[in-house]
Amino acid sequence: MASSPWNTQAARARDLRTFFDFLWSARDGCGWREATPEDRAAYEWWRRRDERGPRVEDTSWDREVSTVNQFYLWAFDQDLVRANPVRQRTAAAWLPWTSGGGRGGSRHVPAETSHTGPRRDVKWPPPASYRVWRNVGLCGFDAAERCGGRSGAGHRPTPHPGPVRGSHPPAHPRKRRPPPARRHRAPAYRPRHACPSLTSPCTRKPDSPQTRSSLR
């Protein structure tokens, strides 16, 4: 908690103070060291369902449960309390770096959470909408399944993107053609010792008398 921003620390301090005040005023002067799961059940009823209570939202209640749970876990490690009054349940641990789907082992989480909220309000798109999202968003096609939808001219769409979380790779992936073999061109012939008469220009004119006498 010490490394959290000041507004987060202030919100956690208010959550703890509200629970401790409830224990003292509504539970016959009970201290935070003697809190029990029954006190937590009464506190939940007053915070969420009582008509005379504040009736907080689910997200606010989940934050309060997390704050109180972390506080009592720390107090239990420091031998300040005998038990954690927040009821726990066993949940599967998510380990994305392990094989077998990312699940391995188990962990304890608070059982008092609302089990609702925006993180659990997941709606899966129908197959047609998913194909449009895959082809347009990942492959680079436009709405008409044509090339150049993402970045205009010069963009080469991906025929089959990699596995997306929550989806599966295509059953029959398209086979890529091998690159064409490069043609071997023979090097141009270059004589190692060229004749000087062929490389140097001729200085004699064909119609000169010297040339005619040499031909006779």
pLDDT, one tens digit per residue, over 78-113 is 999 999 999 999 987 766 555 554 555 788 899 999
Q: What is the rounded CA–CA span in Å between residue 94 and residue 105?
A: 8
HSE-CB for 35 with a 13 A CA cutoff:
29
Going 127 to 133 to 138 to 142, the CA torsion angle's sign is positive
Q: What is the pTM of this model?
A: 0.53
With 70 as the cut, is the pLDDT of residue 148 above it?
no
**Exposed, middle or buried by CB within 10 Å (0-12, 13-18, 19+), for 25?**
exposed
Q: Please determine, for residue 194, whether its predicted confidence score (pLDDT) is greater than 90.
A: no
Three-state SS string over 135-177 comes to: HHHHHCCCCCCCCCCCCCCCCCCCCCCCCCCCCCCCCCCCCCC
Contact 84, 68 (CB under 8 A): no
